[in-house]
Structure formats: structure tokens, C-alpha cells
């Protein structure tokens, strides 16, 4: 099999060994316009599903999340979705602090997880466009 070269930031360009092991090969990955994310508030046990349009700031709790790219494998390949995220914590009593910058994989959320005592965020899907910016919350 051969890999496809992609422009940076790219799953195959930044993490070739990891993408080989996850099966992101041969066919080109489809770039999306919206990353679908889920966030967990560990205090209230609420899970929220939200959309993050590329290069736009989306807030979840004290997090500001920017999805730089979101890619998914074509239907004939093993399913995988990955997003390059920049997550910053913004608190009124202290300066902004970067929490996470890097790739998150839907099939392996623990591979590159957000380390935070209150919030957790992970990738669910990549979509072409957002018809409506919806947030769904579940939990107690």
C-alpha cells in the first residue's frame, strides 16, 4: 500500500507511523468543514454534543476550541475520523492557558486526550457543512 501526501496540518503528514497503524492509507481522506465533538462536564455528568466549524472559536465550559481541520476516511476504508484541535482554557481570574493542541482520533479517544480536572472533549465525526449550530446535552 502507499500513502497519499497531504498538505500540513494533515493526519498523514504529521503522524505517519500512527496513521499506518490505524489504517489511514491508500484512499485520500475527505476533508470536512465541521468537526462534531462531544464534551463531558465531570462535575454535573452532562455530555454535550456540539459542532465546531473549522477555524472558528467554539466555547464549551471554560474551553475555547478551534478545529483547524477534520478528516475522515472514505467509505471503502476502515472508519476513522480525526480532527486537529486547539483548546485553550479561558478563566476570568487568570490569563488564557493552552490545554491541548494536536490530533484527536474518534476511534481512539484516549490516544491523545485532554488532561483537565473538570472537562473532557473528544471527536465524534466530521461533516461537510453545518445546517444549524446545535448543541445536545444529556445527563442528570
Domain locations along the chain: 31-128
Helix (H) or strand (E) holding 16: helix 16-22
The confidence score (pLDDT) of residue 15 equals 42
CB 131 within 8 A of CB 45: no
The confidence score (pLDDT) of residue 20 equals 41
The confidence score (pLDDT) of residue 25 equals 43
C-alpha cell of residue 47: 455530555
The confidence score (pLDDT) of residue 37 equals 96
The confidence score (pLDDT) of residue 105 equals 95
The confidence score (pLDDT) of residue 128 equals 86
Please say whether the dihedral angle defined by the alpha carbons of residues 126, 127, 130 and 135, taken in this order, is positive or negative.
Answer: negative
Please enumerate in sequence order all residues whose Cβ is within 8 A of that of 93, keeping only pairs 6 or more positions apart, or say none: none
Sheet holding 119-127, edge to edge: 119-127, 34-41, 46-53, 135-138
Considering all CA atoms of the chain, what is the largest pairwise distance in Å, rounded to the nearest integer?
Answer: 52
C-alpha cell of residue 137: 446535552
Cα distance between residue 54 and residue 116, in whole Å? 23
pLDDT < 50 positions in the chain: 1-10, 12-27, 130, 132-134
pTM over 0.85: no
Amino acid at each position: 500500500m502507499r500513502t497519499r501526501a497531504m498538505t500540513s496540518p494533515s493526519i498523514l503528514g504529521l503522524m505517519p507511523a500512527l496513521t499506518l497503524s490505524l489504517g489511514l492509507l491508500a484512499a485520500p481522506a475527505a476533508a470536512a468543514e465541521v468537526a462534531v465533538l462531544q464534551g463531558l462536564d465531570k462535575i454535573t455528568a452532562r455530555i454535550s454534543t456540539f459542532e465546531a466549524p473549522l477555524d472558528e472559536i467554539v466555547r464549551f465550559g471554560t474551553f475555547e476550541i478551534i478545529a483547524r481541520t477534520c478528516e475522515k476516511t472514505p467509505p471503502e476504508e476502515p472508519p476513522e475520523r480525526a480532527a486537529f484541535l486547539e483548546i485553550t482554557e479561558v478563566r476570568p481570574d487568570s490569563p488564557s492557558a493552552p490545554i491541548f493542541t494536536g490530533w484527536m482520533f474518534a476511534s481512539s479517544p484516549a490516544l491523545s486526550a485532554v488532561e483537565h480536572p473538570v472537562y473532557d472533549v473528544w471527536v465524534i465525526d466530521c461533516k461537510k457543512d453545518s445546517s444549524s449550530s446545535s448543541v445536545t446535552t444529556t445527563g442528570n
